[in-house]
């Protein structure tokens, strides 16, 4: 069964595993999410559920999103996202899904979100290039190096590493282990770090890397 | 709200009895050591020179001189590997971090004892 959940990153801490080792974990305030719409093979050509998370005022939404909630009869939510599923019949319209129904300790998940924005950065920070020496007559410190050859090809190759915007883009961290689940308080904790600052909206899915 | 969620994750593993340890105290750490299938308790005695972190991540740094070599152990207070802490002697210190002890050996590396307040008749 395809698993999915939405949540907000709460922050990091550490917990102890059975062996008594300290394990770094990220705490995520998860769900519950509600099924707003089912996409079926007949109607859309693929199977997915549209889920909503984090209730809000209707005035905060744009018209297309308002339409989704009006059609389903659910209260408006801030986050609206689609997840592919194997069997859409397993879900009901308006069904509320809690994190404890989706994930258990030991599951492997992929977590996607928007990474922290670093602004416009040079090659040393953005691509991990080394830069030149700082002294001994060197005038080449943190600049971009050679852009390529001369008359052949007579242009800069596509994909050449150059300065530009770093961060503030979608990042997925794969194969994280679920370390803690609390169904009552809707908390999920995964081992390791996830993208973004605290409060970032995260998508959690079962991993593409690890199949039992 | 988010800070509370982190506390909620931590609280199940927090120690019920917080050790009554202060900086400068001489303590015995009773550590659970697992050797293969066997588990035994190892005692590490030394001076508490630092306390860092908060919540479940809080640690103590305990220093001792072992055969003339300084040894420091950093122990998470709430770790299940730490069976319990025994306070041998209270220390009288004026600092929160006793890193100045690191450069010292012998009598200079001592911490004065904190005695219970004298009774006045």
Q: Does A182 contact chain B (CB < 8 Å)?
A: yes
| Predicted pLDDT of residue A29 | 92
| Predicted pLDDT of residue A18 | 85
Domain residues for the domain of B91 are 2-102
pTM for the whole structure: 0.83
pLDDT higher than threshold 60 for residue B18: yes
The partner residue sitting opposite B2, judged by closest CB among A10, A15, A22, is A10
| Predicted pLDDT of residue B38 | 87
| Predicted pLDDT of residue B2 | 65
Report which of A25, A9, A22, A7 is spatially closest to residue A192, judged by C-alpha positions. A25
Report which of A112, A115, A91, A113 is spatially closest to residue A208, judged by C-alpha positions. A112
In a domain, residue B6? The reply is: yes
Token pair of B110, please? 């001592």
CB-CB under 8 Å, B78 with A29: no
The partner residue sitting opposite A15, judged by closest CB among B2, B56, B81, is B56
Count Cβ atoms below 10 Å from residue A68 Cβ, excluding itself: 17
pLDDT higher than threshold 60 for residue B1: no
Strand partners, B50: B61
| Predicted pLDDT of residue A24 | 94
In a domain, residue B12? The reply is: yes
What's the number of domains chain B is made of? 1
In a domain, residue B111? The reply is: no
| Predicted pLDDT of residue B121 | 62
- Contact indicator for A106, A176 with CB cutoff of 8 Å: no
| pLDDT lower than 70: segments of chain A | 1, 211-212
In a domain, residue B31? The reply is: yes
HSE (side-chain half, CA atoms, 13 Å) at A88:
21
| Predicted pLDDT of residue A212 | 59
| Predicted pLDDT of residue A77 | 92
Question: Quick one: closest CA in B to A12, which residue?
Answer: B6
A contacts of B1 (beta carbons < 8 Å) = 29
In a domain, residue B45? The reply is: yes
Q: How confident is the model at residue B5 (pLDDT cuts 50, 70, 90)?
A: confident
A119: burial class by Cβ within 10 Å (0-12, 13-18, 19+)? exposed
B66-116: pLDDT as tens digits: 888 899 999 999 999 998 899 998 988 999 999 999 988 877 777 877 777
Q: Does A180 contact chain B (CB < 8 Å)?
A: yes
Question: Quick one: closest CA in B to A186, which residue?
Answer: B5
Token pair of A86, please? 């194997």
| Predicted pLDDT of residue B104 | 85
In a domain, residue B70? The reply is: yes
**Interfacial A residues in 117-156 facing B (CB < 8 Å):** none
Tell me the DSSP string of B4-65: HHHHHHHHTTS-SS-----TT-EEEEEEEEEETTEEEEEEEEEEEEEEE--GGG-EEEEEEE
| Predicted pLDDT of residue B8 | 80
How many angstroms separate the CA of residue B13 from the nearest CA in chain A?
A: 7
| Predicted pLDDT of residue B116 | 76
B contacts of A26 (beta carbons < 8 Å) = none
DSSP 3-state of A64? helix
Token pair of A208, please? 């593409």
What are the phi and psi torsion angles at A85 (to 5°)?
Answer: -130, 160
First to last CA, chain A: 12
pLDDT higher than threshold 90 for residue B4: no
How many angstroms separate the CA of residue A20 from the nearest CA in chain B?
A: 5
B20-53: pLDDT as tens digits: 899 999 999 999 988 888 889 999 999 999 999 9
In a domain, residue B118? The reply is: no
In a domain, residue B7? The reply is: yes
DSSP A116: P
According to DSSP, the β-strands at A108-114 and A170-182 are antiparallel
CATH of the domain at B32: 2.30.30.790
| Predicted pLDDT of residue A90 | 87
């Amino acid at each position: 069964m395809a698993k999915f959940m939405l949540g907000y990153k709460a922050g990091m801490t550490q917990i102890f595993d059975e062996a008594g080792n300290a394990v770094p974990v990220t705490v995520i305030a998860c769900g519950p999410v509600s099924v707003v719409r089912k996409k079926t093979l007949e109607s859309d050509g693929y199977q997915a559920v549209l889920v909503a998370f984090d209730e809000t005022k209707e005035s905060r939404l744009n018209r297309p999103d308002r339409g989704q909630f009006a059609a389903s009869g659910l209260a408006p939510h801030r986050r609206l996202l689609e997840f592919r599923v194997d069997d859409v019949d397993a879900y009901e319209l308006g069904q509320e899904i809690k994190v404890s129904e989706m994930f258990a300790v030991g599951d492997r998940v992929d977590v996607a979100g928007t990474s922290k924005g670093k602004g416009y950065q040079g090659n040393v920070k953005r691509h991990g290039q080394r830069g030149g020496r700082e002294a001994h007559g060197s005038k080449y410190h943190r600049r971009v190096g050679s852009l390529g050859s001369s008359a052949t090809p007579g242009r800069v190759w596509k994909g050449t590493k150059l300065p530009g915007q770093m961060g503030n883009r979608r990042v997925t961290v794969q194969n994280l282990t679920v370390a803690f689940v609390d169904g009552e308080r809707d908390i999920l904790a995964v081992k390791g770090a996830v993208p973004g600052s605290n409060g970032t909206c995260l998508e959690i899915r079962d991993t593409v890397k690890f199949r039992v | 709200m988010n800070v509370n969620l982190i506390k909620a994750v931590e609280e199940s593993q927090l120690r019920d009895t917080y050790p009554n340890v202060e900086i400068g105290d001489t303590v015995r750490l009773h550590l659970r050591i697992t050797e293969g299938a066997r588990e035994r308790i190892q005692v590490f005695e030394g001076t508490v020179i630092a306390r860092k972190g908060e919540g479940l991540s809080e640690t103590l740094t305990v220093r001792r001189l072992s055969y003339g070599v300084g040894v420091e152990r950093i122990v998470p207070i709430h770790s299940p590997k730490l069976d319990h802490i025994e306070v041998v002697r209270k220390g009288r210190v004026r600092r929160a971090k006793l890193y100045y002890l690191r450069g010292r050996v012998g009598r200079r590396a001592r911490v004065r004892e904190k005695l219970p307040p004298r009774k006045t008749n």
